[in-house]
Structure 1
Amino acid sequence: MVRVSPSGVTGNGDAEDSHSQSSELTAAQIIDLERSQIGHDVHDLLIPLMFAASANLQAALRSADDPTTAVGELAPLVDRIAKSDDWLQQALALARNLLTQIYPPELDQLSWLAAAKDTANRIGGSDCQVVWDVDPASPVCDSNWNRDQATTAYRVLIEALRNATRHGNAKTVTIRCQPDRLVIVDDGDGFDPAAIDPNRFGVRSMKGRARLVGKTVTVESAPGGPTTVSMTL
């Protein structure tokens, strides 16, 4: 069984987090952690949207079938249907993001850079600007880039973006694709590395996946930000 020892979260890039030092993740444990997070997202985010849309549509259908419903009362029914459609669109977007977490099909259809830009824009949405700085000598521009390393870099990028937007409230994320590393910097709230939960899924997953392909991930942050995630290439 492959075993990985994630490096620690640092505030200055030098000091190792003692909790991370003492914890090790196997490949199977990484998969279990990801399954757990996906399960939580399905239960807490996806299912409520679908349930609300279904309940709303059922109520609208009951009103539409009620012979006592006046023509003037149809407008609220249209509003119900429109709201249900909005919830279903949110559920569809969430389902697509979950699919990307499980397996990035975009990498079979697009170049790494094109797929990464498309996904980054979807995660950032209208609330977060994503800025790219790409060195042509970076492996991300190489069509023959090792598949396992490319997939890992893609997953690290996604996790960093999700953390920046979901937890850090970032308004701008800068992604630097350099010859020797991938760097993601966000202007979000940041956090105290010493206070981070050693079982926090996102950080452990990024580090563990990188180790599986012979690379490393470091995370630097401080209260008030910025937060920098860096993966060696």
Structure 2
Amino acid sequence: MSAWGWHGRAANTALVPVVGLVAVTGLVVQAGGIDTAAEWAALLAVLASSAALYLRRCHPVAVGVVALAAVGSYGALLHRPGPIMLVFVVALYTVVDEGHLAVAIGLGLASVVAFALADSYNRTENTANGATLLHAGWLVAVIVGVTRNRRAYLAEARARALVADQRTEEEARRRATEERLRIARELHDVLGHHLSLINVQASAALHRPDPTRSEQALIAIKQTSKETLRELRTTLGILRQPGESPTAPTPGLNRLDELVTLAVRSGLEIHTELTETRPLPPEVDLAAYRIVQEALTNVTRHAGATTAVIRVRPDHDDVLVEVEDDGSGAVGPPGNGIVGMGERARALGGSLTTGPGPDGGFRVRARLRLPPGPLPTGAPA
């Protein structure tokens, strides 16, 4: 069934009595009243064909045949064409609009023949075939016009469907890309941080002849590898869950002490300056934790630093996360870690800046935007 707006049930219901009223009024005017049996029979044909229009969308071909029979009966009874042709035109329009073009052409030709036979009873030398030709032209205009409109509508519908499919595919590709990036960030942060600490401790164990210090490094490697396996299992468990809202617990700033403890084992001296903040949404809490984790990873791997400072404080509707060290502060092309930190911050509507600190060393500064709305329950960071 066509989806044009006026094809609704209300429009179809309103159209039928209007067409019937016009056809009946035309019959009364044309006949000068309903007096003879033929005129009463013609009135019955008008009413029956008009009522059949109620079913024109469900059974267009059948209604078209009924309308054609009514036109033929009308002409045979009154020996002249009449306003019942309006009923037939509506039925013919519906047949074409529902896609039955061949049937519509056949009905149109049959109606022209019936019209010509009825018109022949009143034909004069001045009007011979004039009404028949006018009727034929009218039907041709209806068929051609509706066919053209239908083809244009179908072409537009196909174009809209194609655009919708393309948008759906693009959205699916975008979601898949975002999901791959999210998984890559999680695995990079989990594995990169702990493996970097293990590498530092292993290097220390190899280059320290003191058995006590080597034992301490091995203990640190054991603890770090245990933490790596635990967090990797948690991350993989989250990634296996369907949907975008994992239910498994994710790390947050409440585990900041664990990060500090692991980093201290690698020989860093770390100071924390935490200002109490309101409860953070899980996605902000996770981003803050991962940014601190990655910043400490870079400190242990690249900075050659001995001291680092971690600051977390509120700033209006934002949370500021800063990690500074006293290392070399060398500036180079950003690696995957810095890129990942920037992606996490921007995904929350925030920002990330990295570079040399005001007193030397290197500084990572992230501004994380807190979403509006009710705050989650929980302890402040």
CA positional deviation for 1:44:
9.6
Residues 1:135 and 1:117: Cα distance change in structure 2 (over 3 Å)? same
Q: Is the 8 A contact 2:189 2:290 kept in 1?
A: no
Give the equivalent residue in structure 2 for 1:189: 328
Instruction: Specify every segment of 5 or more residues in structure 1 that has no aligned partner in the other structure, as ranges.
Output: 4-24, 50-78
Amino acid in the other structure paired with 2:274: V
Post-superposition shift, 1:98?
Answer: 5.8
SS in 2 for 1:167: helix
Is 1:121 matched with 2:121? no
- Post-superposition offset of 1:230: 0.7
Question: Does residue 219 of structure 1 match 2:354?
Answer: yes
Q: Measured at CA, do residues 44 and 179 of structure 1 come closer, stay the same or move farther in structure 2, by a change above 3 Å?
A: closer
CA displacement 1:107-144 (0-9 Å, x = unmatched): 4xxxx3x42123222223261111122223xxxx33x3
- Per-residue CA shift, 1:160-214, capped at 9, x if unaligned? 011111211221111122212111111112212xx315xx111011111112222
Q: Does 2:287 align with 1:152?
A: yes
Identity of aligned residues (%): 23
Amino acid at match of 1:90: I
Q: Identify if the C-alpha distance between structure 1 residues 120 and 211 changes in structure 2 by more than 3 Å, giving closer, same or farther.
A: same
- Alpha-carbon distance in 1 for matches of 2:333, 2:263: 24
Per the alignment, do residues 131 and 204 of structure 1 end up closer, same or farther by CA in structure 2, a change over 3 Å counting?
same
Matched length: 165
Whose helix proportion is higher, 1 or 2? 2
Letter in structure 2 aligned against 1:96: E
| Pairing 1:91-130 to 2, within 5 Å after superposition | 91-97=222-228, 99-100=230-231, 102=235, 107=252, 112=253, 114-125=254-265, 127-130=267-270
- Looking at structure 2, the residues matched to 228 and 158 of structure 1 have their Cα atoms a distance apart, in angstroms, of 14
| 1:133 is the counterpart of 2:273 | yes
Q: Does the 8 A contact of 1:135 with 1:177 survive in 2?
A: yes
Aligned-partner SS, 2:344:
helix
Q: Does 2:298 correspond to 1:163?
A: yes
CA contact (8 A) 1:168 1:189 kept: yes
- Aligned partner of 2:184 among 14, 23, 32: 32
> Normalized against structure 1, the TM-score is what?
0.55
Instruction: Find the counterpart in structure 2 of residue 203 from structure 1.
Output: 338
Q: Is this contact kept in 2: 1:124–1:161, CA < 8 A?
A: no
Partner of 1:64: none
Amino acid at match of 2:307: T
Q: Distance between the aligned counterparts of 2:350 and 2:192, measured in 1?
A: 28
Are the equivalent residues in 1 in contact too, given 2:220–2:265 (CA < 8 A)?
no
Structure 1 residues 98 and 211, CA gap change in structure 2 (3 angstroms): farther
Deviation at 1:231, TM superposition (A): 0.9
- The CA distance in 2 between the partners of 1:96 and 1:164, in whole Å, is 19
Give the aligned residue type for 1:214: G
Structure 2: gaps of 5 or more residues:
1-170, 202-210, 239-248, 369-381
* 203 and 106 in structure 1: CA distance in 2 versus 1, 3 angstrom threshold: closer
TM (normalized to structure 2)? Answer: 0.36
**Whole-Å separation in 2 of the counterparts to 1:154 and 1:221:** 22
SS in 2 for 1:176: strand
Give the alignment's Cα RMSD to 1 decimal.
4.0
In structure 2, relative to structure 1, the CA distance for the partners of 1:133 and 1:40 (3 Å cut) is closer
